[in-house]
A and B are shown apart, each in its own frame.
Chain A
């Protein structure tokens, strides 16, 4: 690129505006983080995401099989650069040991939902059948309500919820997705000692 000063150039050949980080196409990303199992670590992660203006879609936290390690699955929308920035910000936390964006990798992804549906004598049979057909499981039956469980990818859970919505949802809870990369690679094993 030619290197003349701004002033030396006629306005019509002005260079294109510098692109802003984070201005690209937004899509769903899944970050997997291994963190130290210390009090307050969830607060640190969620506080950082809030302060840095990243909006978390869902966050699932659990122990791992290793003492001292917890695992988080963070789902968020953003362009690739913004999400990379989120991952780098997470690394600034002392308790964060490893972060991977597994969005582009082959993964197994699963979410669990519990749904409490309104039922009547008249439609109970139909509802139970629909739950079964839609690959749900009935966990509790009361005279005027049932609790169904469904698990699968987010899209599968979405589809199930759409099917049963017509019966009247009294309560719904979803765990948020948990994911794991396919193959032999292990984020836990990748944590530096």
Chain B
């Protein structure tokens, strides 16, 4: 049969009348206009008698997973959830000011507590606003479940209002993702999402739920843990290292004269701090750490050697470059750690322990691959390796100690004032560490402030340094600190943030106030995109295009939000300003006016090797 043009147009727009499809589309279109939605007609007082719908199943599933707080923002298609949230007072709901803030808050909560963080947004722009936070969690392997609403299932693919293919968007940046169109699937999907997010190498999982699934009446029951595992035959993380490889590793370790242990985020994920220390003590080898490996060992431990990589300590990079064996555990040889791989650790054989087989051999070729959980592998391996007494290591450890004294005593660090007389940032970081007894949680943003924090605060405990390492997301600190403060109320939480990053997510100041979250903000105002300025000075011949950045009067800004604040512009102001913030019962902001001229040194320019550190630029006072 041939159709005329007009016929075809009409037919393609409308499902055949009287069909189930047509009825579903019509229903969905009505729902989009919020007419006759299932539960809105139920008066508040009669809620107890209402039917159990998909949104209830979601809340039940979250509670079964031990969720205590979620960071979320409502919107049209996810309103059925908000309609019943009031019936679940155990589920704390923090209304953020921007979904990106919600995702970072869930991330900060997860990093600080080790539990799965939860954020929620609506379809379309709510979902796309979550994306940066999901990506941040993906690159740093943070357990997170991100939940979005989507348009009713019959409208999917029709470019309905606020419809975007969010599953397609999050697919390459999540550990796994789901689209749920049927409430009966919700119990399994939510349980799987949490299991996947927290097991093996952790990571974010995104669950997209259509509006009709949230509203659908259901008697679905929740699966047991065993059923969840059995339903995921493709997900069986390897926990224990291969025994043969462990024996090879033990032999390599026994033969090594200049071993260096490289500790990464995997130590923290696995809770393997004690095992790491015992292992290092048994073989008397120094521990270097990555940005996210900070806290793997108390920095005061004699074998704690320091922070490695692009802005790591010179002595640490030197030790790596002269090592004959690298024992890498829970780290992934990121380019910020290795620099040019061709010249990386040229004398070293490499033992690489990671729970993700794909990380082994990805960036550097290794001699001994060991797939497994850091805690289990270290616990098994330690008694297998020959103990190396301190005397045998003495010359090596003495040389390392000398390098350390040399590099720590160098000129780029130490005085409170920079050469222009203005505050130097490293000093402020040191004072924050000191005055909080190194017992706080310190959330870095991105840029120079992040590197100063990593280098100078002095960390003693795992999960007390939070930083967007892999994605390097500016604007991370304040919202992530919010999540950390809710997760670990017993620690003082400090957000260390540059003026650039602060201006990206400062809207969450209001959330801090409304939800009474006592985050202390140390705003490092150099009136610059400092790290950009640094690269431009060193690599782009001082062409400072777009490095200068104006900011508001931050005291007035804080006041407008109702947040007590103080400004510190000289070294003499610093301690008092920090103490002021500490004394505030609730959120507080310290505006540190720091020099705009200071660079973070040493620095390994991108593409160069670890031996090519730039240590100083110009002449210091």
Q: Identify the A interface with B (CB < 8 A).
A: 1-8, 14-21, 35-36, 40, 43-44, 47-48, 51, 81, 84-85, 88-89, 91-97, 191-193
- Least CB distance from B202 to A in Å reads 13
Given A3-B347, A21-B365: A88 and B611 within 8 A (CB)? no
A36-B176 Cα distance, complex, nearest whole Å = 13
A20-B365 Cα distance, complex, nearest whole Å = 7
- Residue-wise, chain B 352-381 has the 8 Å CB interface mask toward A (1 for contact) of 000011101111110000000000000000
Partner of A36, one of B167, B196, B234: B234
Partner of A18, one of B341, B356, B361: B341
How many B residues, CB 8 Å from partner? 37
A48-B358 Cα distance, complex, nearest whole Å = 13
Is B171 interfacial (CB-CB < 8 Å)? yes
B322: which A residues are within 8 A, CB to CB? 3-8
- Least CB distance from B381 to A in Å reads 22
- Least CB distance from B398 to A in Å reads 14
Q: Which residue of B lies closest to A85 (CB)?
A: B362
- Residue-wise, chain B 151-169 has the 8 Å CB interface mask toward A (1 for contact) of 0000000000000000110
B343 touches A3 (CB 8 A): no
A81 touches B361 (CB 8 A): yes
Is B562 interfacial (CB-CB < 8 Å)? no
A92 touches B358 (CB 8 A): yes
A6 touches B346 (CB 8 A): yes
Given A18-B344, A94-B196, A94-B235: A6 and B321 within 8 A (CB)? yes
A8-B341 Cα distance, complex, nearest whole Å = 21
- Least CB distance from A116 to B in Å reads 25
Partner of A43, one of B171, B236, B343: B171
A96 touches B234 (CB 8 A): yes
- Least CB distance from B28 to A in Å reads 20
A5 touches B321 (CB 8 A): yes
A15: which B residues are within 8 A, CB to CB? 346-347
Is B172 interfacial (CB-CB < 8 Å)? yes
Partner of B347, one of A2, A94, A95, A192: A2
A3 touches B346 (CB 8 A): no
- Least CB distance from B325 to A in Å reads 9
A3 touches B358 (CB 8 A): no
A37-B356 Cα distance, complex, nearest whole Å = 24
What are 23 inter-chain pairs, A to B, with CB distance below 8 A? A1-B347, A1-B349, A3-B347, A4-B347, A5-B318, A7-B322, A18-B342, A18-B346, A20-B342, A21-B361, A21-B364, A21-B365, A40-B167, A51-B172, A85-B358, A85-B362, A93-B234, A94-B196, A94-B232, A95-B234, A96-B234, A97-B233, A192-B233
A44 touches B358 (CB 8 A): no
Closest 7 CB pairs of A and B: A5-B322, A3-B324, A88-B358, A17-B342, A15-B346, A94-B176, A3-B258
Is B576 interfacial (CB-CB < 8 Å)? no
Given A20-B341, A84-B361, A88-B358: A191 and B233 within 8 A (CB)? yes
Q: Which residue of A lies closest to B168 (CB)?
A: A43
Is B495 interfacial (CB-CB < 8 Å)? no
Q: Identify the B interface with A (CB < 8 A).
A: 167-168, 171-172, 175-176, 196, 232-236, 257-258, 318, 321-324, 341-347, 349, 356-358, 360-365, 611
A48-B177 Cα distance, complex, nearest whole Å = 14
- Least CB distance from B103 to A in Å reads 21
A74-B591 Cα distance, complex, nearest whole Å = 56
A93-B323 Cα distance, complex, nearest whole Å = 36
Given A5-B321, A18-B365: A92 and B341 within 8 A (CB)? no
B365 touches A81 (CB 8 A): yes
B321: which A residues are within 8 A, CB to CB? 5-6
A43-B342 Cα distance, complex, nearest whole Å = 35
A120-B346 Cα distance, complex, nearest whole Å = 68
A94: which B residues are within 8 A, CB to CB? 175-176, 196, 232, 234-235
A97-B171 Cα distance, complex, nearest whole Å = 18
A4-B323 Cα distance, complex, nearest whole Å = 8
- Least CB distance from B173 to A in Å reads 9
Q: Which residue of A lies closest to B234 (CB)?
A: A97
B365: which A residues are within 8 A, CB to CB? 18-21, 81
A7-B611 Cα distance, complex, nearest whole Å = 9
B171: which A residues are within 8 A, CB to CB? 40, 43-44, 47
Given A1-B324, A6-B322, A97-B234: A89 and B345 within 8 A (CB)? no
A15-B358 Cα distance, complex, nearest whole Å = 28
A88-B357 Cα distance, complex, nearest whole Å = 6
Q: Which residue of B lies closest to A43 (CB)?
A: B171
- Least CB distance from B233 to A in Å reads 6
- Least CB distance from B351 to A in Å reads 15
Q: Which residue of B lies closest to A36 (CB)?
A: B234
A81-B236 Cα distance, complex, nearest whole Å = 23
Given A3-B257, A96-B234: A17 and B358 within 8 A (CB)? no
Partner of B356, one of A2, A40, A92, A93: A92
A51-B233 Cα distance, complex, nearest whole Å = 25
- Least CB distance from B144 to A in Å reads 16
B235: which A residues are within 8 A, CB to CB? 94
Q: Which residue of A lies closest to B359 (CB)?
A: A88
Q: Which residue of A lies closest to B363 (CB)?
A: A21
A48-B341 Cα distance, complex, nearest whole Å = 24
Q: Which residue of B lies closest to A8 (CB)?
A: B322
A17-B167 Cα distance, complex, nearest whole Å = 42
B357: which A residues are within 8 A, CB to CB? 88, 91
- Least CB distance from B229 to A in Å reads 11
A17-B357 Cα distance, complex, nearest whole Å = 25
A59-B217 Cα distance, complex, nearest whole Å = 41
B362: which A residues are within 8 A, CB to CB? 21, 85
A35: which B residues are within 8 A, CB to CB? 234
- Least CB distance from B501 to A in Å reads 27
- Least CB distance from A63 to B in Å reads 17
A91: which B residues are within 8 A, CB to CB? 357-358
A87-B453 Cα distance, complex, nearest whole Å = 38
A93: which B residues are within 8 A, CB to CB? 176, 234
Extra contacts, 18 of them, besides A18-B343, A47-B172, A94-B232 (Cβ < 8 A), are: A2-B347, A6-B346, A6-B611, A8-B322, A18-B341, A18-B365, A21-B363, A21-B364, A21-B365, A35-B234, A81-B365, A88-B358, A91-B357, A93-B234, A94-B234, A95-B234, A96-B234, A192-B233
- Least CB distance from B514 to A in Å reads 37
B232: which A residues are within 8 A, CB to CB? 94
